[in-house]
Amino acid sequence: MTDSLFTDDQIEAGRKLFAGPVAFVKGVVSLHDLPPGDRPEFTFAGRSNVGKSSLINALCNRKNLARASNTPGRTQEINFFDLAEGRFWMVDLPGYGFANAPKANVDTWSLLNLNYLRSRSKLKRVFCLVDSRRGLGDVDLGVMEKLDSAAVHYQIVLTKTDKIKKSEVPEVIAATRAALMKQPAAHPHVIATSSEKGLGIPELRATILTLA
């Protein structure tokens, strides 16, 4: 996890980006409500409970910017955050693959999300969050295939690495990379994070800065 791709200056610039203002702007349940795609945009996706809200809060040094919910599968809005006063849209997609979600919910998820993903010309990257204890699952791969066919670039972010042994982290990264080889729109570098311990968060911030 110290094999950072970034210089100290890039890490510092990433820190500064997220030390500035971040504001929740709106939760969207219909395509007509999307805010104008007028700036670079990045989006977080992942299974319910993968640690998405916690990661967004850790990136932004907030406790409650994104609600860390104990009711996975409930939030169906696409949430838009203004990062650094108009520099980026930071977007939180509804979690997918919640085992007990009604099928109607799942369908709404896919349609709204797919249409969103296809309609944003300044969408630079989707960060696909994967629990480091589980690795890539079928549902993740299904979502990634949709991203591939929509030609939306994405990058895997492993979450909760504090929950596995330190020595296992490189193994999970390697296994994830191997699984990504066949996915044309996947970024080859896998970012390992722990929101709890702050691991990988500076690297993710620096990565986001390169998207501008």
Ligand X SMILES: Nc1nc2c(ncn2[C@@H]2O[C@H](COP(=O)(O)OP(=O)(O)O)[C@@H](O)[C@H]2O)c(=O)[nH]1
* Shortest separation between residue 184's beta carbon and ligand X, angstroms: 26
* Shortest separation between residue 72's beta carbon and Mg ion, angstroms: 8
Does 79 contact ligand X by CB under 6 A?
Answer: no
* Shortest separation between residue 14's beta carbon and ligand X, angstroms: 19
The residue with its CB nearest to Mg ion is 53
Q: SS3 of 206, please?
A: helix
Give CA separation, 13 vs 6, 140, 200, 209, in Å: 11, 31, 15, 8
Query: For ligand X, what does the binding mask look like between residues 181 and 200, x meaning CB under 6 A?
Result: -------------xxx----
Closest by CA to 194, choosing from 167, 165, 168, 161, is 161
**What is the side-by-side strand order in the sheet with 123-131?**
22-28, 78-83, 88-92, 41-46, 123-131, 154-159, 191-192
Query: For ligand X, what does the binding mask look like between residues 34 and 53, x meaning CB under 6 A?
Result: ------------x-xxxxxx
Query: Per DSSP, what are the bridge partners of residue 192?
Result: 158
Task: Tally DSSP H helices, then E strands, for the chain.
Answer: 6, 7
Is 54 or 176 the residue whose CB approaches ligand X more closely?
A: 54
Is 10 or 154 the residue whose CB approaches ligand X more closely?
A: 154
Does 115 contact ligand X by CB under 6 A?
Answer: no
Closest by CA to 95, choosing from 81, 106, 103, is 106
Contact 45, 153 (CB under 8 A): no
Is 130 or 185 the residue whose CB approaches ligand X more closely?
A: 130
Site size toward ligand X, by CB under 6 A = 19
The site for ligand X (CB under 6 A) is made up of 46, 48-54, 68-69, 72, 95, 159-160, 162-163, 194-196
